Amino acid sequence: MSLFRKKDLAAMLAQAEDGGKGLKRTLGAGNLIALGVGAIIGAGLFVRTAAAAGQAAGPAVTLSFIVAAVGCAFAGLCYAEFAAMIPISGSAYAYSYVTMGETVAWIIGWALIMEYALGAATVSIAWSEYLNKLLGGGIPYEWSHSPFESITDTAGVLHHGIMNAPALIILLLLTLLLIKGTQESAIVNAIIVFIKVAIVIIFIIIGWQFIRPENHTPYLIPANQPPVLDGAGKVVADYSGAFKHGWGGVLGGAAIVFFAFIGFDAVSTAAQEAKNPKRDMPIGILGSLVVCTILYILFGHVLTGVAPWTDFVDPLKGREASVAYAISTYMTGYGWLATAVTVAILAGFSSVILVMLMGQSRVFYSMANDGLLPKVFSDLHPKYRTPYKSNWILFVFVGAFAAFVPGSVAGDLTSFGTLFAFVLVSAGVWILRVKSPGMERPFKTPLVPLVPILGAVICLAMIFALDAQTLKVAFAWMALGLIVYFAYSRKHSKLNEGA
């Protein structure tokens, strides 16, 4: 049996139109743009912006957003072609199954777990941080942080985390909403999106008056930048690496803030639930990407202008809940805005988690339908027609990660999974253009093969800009995936039935 046996496109499309037995088609173009914006504007903007500025890019985090956006734009055009042409759930997994074969499809499906499942875990951890900020630090450090995290307070007392309980609670509530139904989830998401976009715009408008030019000078982190220390004298940020200062820092920052763009591709996982996917999928994917890119660049410029970027790596200053910290510390008279931003961020994070969990359950649904995962992942609720068993299994996995693993680890692994998916989707568009040039394409990626090549190259560059530890863990995860594939999935694949 070939390692690169492919799924027939006609059979795949027939599977999507299975006489009402599958997922319900309830989403329009507006719903899809809202899903995209709902997934994109969240932890990436409110948490990773400050993290990228403090760890690698400084004020030039705005340039990091541009680099990441360009890579996303090329990949987004490729996603739009595939989503319109192959309107089924599964996203990059389904596309690679048709173009590059089962083994590559499995690899990308396994990598998508890092994108969606770990993405949901990362954002739930950020949700917990902002809830604690809203409550004035009322949640004990021990019950809102991973066992692998610790902090020394101003009195010199060392605190160790036990588990992140708030993150677990929000994951449970959103899992219950997803089981109830896609349309209900989309309505809740649309309301949340309106609120959080309004708050982002308000912050940009008001914060612009508080920008201090000295905070943007120098714009790039200098090579001789001294490390930042915490209260106990421990180094929390070092700038000696190639991707930690200067233009290298801009690329390193792009790899970090890339997490902020995850979401437009999650729109493609809902293709099987779109009313008119051939028209609406490109609108949803590219429309949400354009809206968010503009807001990101403006937001990053204001945030690093209001507060010094070095504050964003200091655990006793703005490392956690950085936006609320910047407002309350440097924007006198706007304490109400800090509270409003925190409430909007909590709501916004909720919508991101919702879309991430939805995207992952749909990928699992497709993989189980193909026999690569156990059938339990594709079982639909008898009343709501949602993959409810997959949702519950996902809650256990994501919940364990959110409760016991630091958010920074999950965030960088999420970026790896996403970038890897983008590389293969970009390559897949080119491959299918060569092998099946006559296939109907309701939306066409322009300038093929230039756009797919640029998308793949830029995303590969951002992968290598991630830190070495993240890459080691990511490749170990991918190796585990291959073991699972050859031990279980390959034997149970439905392609064996036709072999």
Place of tokens 């694949």: 493
Beta-strand relationship, 150-152 and 158-160: antiparallel
> Regarding predicted confidence, which is higher, 479 or 422?
479
pLDDT at 183: 66
The pLDDT value given to residue 46: 76
pLDDT at 435 over 60: yes
Of 11-15, 282-286, 404-408, 412-416, give the lowest mean pLDDT range: 11-15
Residue 25 has pLDDT above 90, yes or no: no
Across residues 461-469, what is the average pLDDT?
Answer: 82
138-170 burial by CB neighbour count: b if 16+ within 10 A, else e?
Answer: ebebeebbbeebebbeeeeeeeebbbbbbbbeb
What's the whole-model pTM score? Answer: 0.73
Residue 407 has pLDDT above 80, yes or no: no
Does the CA dihedral 104-477-270-377 come out positive or negative?
A: positive
| 396 band by pLDDT with thresholds 50, 70 and 90 | very high
User: Can you tell me the mean pLDDT for 114-128?
Assistant: 84
Asked whether 161 and 141 are in contact (CB, 8 A), the reply is yes
Instruction: Report pLDDT for 13.
Output: 67
Which range in 38-42, 313-317, 466-470 is most confidently predicted, on average pLDDT? Answer: 466-470
| pLDDT number for residue 353 | 87
Judged by phi (left if over 0) then psi (alpha if -120 to 50, else beta), residue 440 lies in beta
What share of the chain in percent tops pLDDT 90?
15
Residue whose token pair is 């309701």: 442
228: exposed, middle or buried (C-beta count within 10 Å: 0-12, 13-18, 19+)?
A: buried
304 pLDDT band (50/70/90 cuts)? Answer: very high
pLDDT tens for each residue of 126-143: 888 878 877 877 788 888
Mean pLDDT to the nearest integer, 142-158: 75
Q: How many residues does the chain have?
A: 499
Assess whether pLDDT exceeds 60 at residue 21.
no
In whole angstroms, give the CA distance from residue 459 to residue 265: 14
Summarize the confidence of residues 221-241 as an average pLDDT. Answer: 76
With a cut of 50, say whether residue 499 has pLDDT above it.
Answer: no
* Confidence band for 19, pLDDT divided at 50, 70 and 90: very low
Q: What is the average pLDDT value for the chain, to the nearest integer?
A: 82
**Domain boundaries, given as residue ranges, for the chain:** 27-463
Q: Which residues contact 231 (CB under 8 A, 6 or more apart)?
A: 152, 153, 154, 156, 315, 316
Whether residue 57 contacts residue 310, with contact meaning beta carbons closer than 8 Å, is answered with no
What pLDDT score was predicted for residue 245? 80
May I ask the CATH class of domain 27-463?
mainly alpha
Instruction: Name the percent of the chain in helix, strand, coil, to the closest 5.
Output: 70, 5, 25
Instruction: Check whether the bond before 218 is cis (ω within 30° of 0).
Output: yes
